[in-house]
Amino acid sequence: MHMLKPALLSLAVAGTSHAALAAEDLGNLFTQGKPILDARHRYENVEQDNNLRNANAQTLRTRVGFQSGKWYGLSGLVEVDNVSRLGDAAYNSSRNGQTDYAMVVDPDGSEVNQALLRYDQAFGSAVLGRQRINLDNQRYVGGVAWRQNEQTYDAALGQLKPLEGLTLTYAYLDNINSIFGPDNGRFDNRTNPANIEGHSHLFNAQYLVMPELTVTAYSYLLGLDNIAVTASAPLGSLSSATRGLRLNGALAGFSYVFEYARQQDYADNPQDLDSEYYLAELGYTLKGLQLKAGYEVLGGDSGPGNRAFQTPLATKHLFQGWADQFLTTPADGIEDAYFGVTAPLAGGSLQAWYHDFETERNGDSYGSEIDLSYAHPIPGVKGLVGLIKYAAYDSDDRSRTVDTDKFWLQAQYSY
């Protein structure tokens, strides 16, 4: 881990008198702390209409750690994850060499998931070390918590709240611990390193104008040195500068989001990038029933190679369908028209979504997808939740994508 240094301790105690330090017990860091224990067992089945064998993966993600209490605003957190395969390796984890099977990106291994120092005070906070970073709706920066090995960041992050309703966020990223880790091996390639190296800067300014309107402006400058947009593309081809504006709010049960961004090349990217992003989304909530419809566009480019709008650090499973067919935006871009419903049902939560996909450049069809899920607490054990989930992607153009069905059965315990 690159960023964990004692500097934050100096920040916490700087300017504090000896008398003030004596007023609060250092032991609060331990006596007011709490252990972290989380276990997630998952069965994942993948069937694709191609030459790959159907994948059947059983994995267990175990997480243990400790969240300290606070001492004059200073706190710490450490957690370690282990991902273990249960049963046969009848799937391609991206590291196990089972390339005749469909992909399930949950490699085995143990890793420090988070190890950080945090300082909180009235006008903001600072975090130094390996940490989880989720900005806005995670379309650009997120933790990819759906996969068994979470994506975390070796980073320094600061938040300042100089005015009521205004939050200014800056983060410097030194290393990204990707979902493909913890280790590289002879079966990885330049699109899936365990650690994404480089120097990146995240700027985010969010202002709550009123309950009906929040305005967010952002600039994400990603210098990603050892990763490429495709296996044959040059390293650094995912380095980008993305700047945009997001408006969202809610009124009388209705909600909305409008967003625009432009992406250009940055750092040492050998490719010239210039593409745009659009999002329009409307929702309505009534007695727990949530309806939502939207239209999202990630622009393509006519130049050589793939120069489409990319979001390499996003929690991509939240977008463009759970079958994960467009984790890399195709060169012609993509338009996603979607609608869905989330509803309480028998003590649990039901979700249903439909997506229709087209190319951004010429309107050709990429196909459609239906997603269904149901989550419910398991009686008798506090903190234990069961999930059943299904995604069915139907390709209208088999030269680009293939029909894909995915099924998950999961139980997760959190203490």
SS3 216: strand
The CATH topology of domain 7-414 is: Porin (2.40.160)
Assess whether pLDDT exceeds 80 at residue 400: no
CA distances from 37 to 182, 199, 219, 382, 414 (A): 20, 32, 35, 13, 6
Give the CA count within 13 Å in the CB-facing half-sphere of 76: 16
Domain map (residue ranges) of the chain? 7-414
* Beta strands 289-298; 334-345: pairing state: antiparallel
pLDDT in tens, 350-380: 999 999 999 999 989 999 999 999 999 999 9
Q: Mean pLDDT over all residues of the chain?
A: 94
pLDDT in tens, 283-317: 999 999 999 999 999 999 988 889 999 999 999 99
pLDDT in tens, 94-147: 999 999 999 999 999 999 999 999 999 999 999 999 999 999 999 999 999 999
Asked whether the whole model's pTM tops 0.85, one would answer yes
Q: Are 334 and 297 in contact (CB under 8 A)?
A: yes
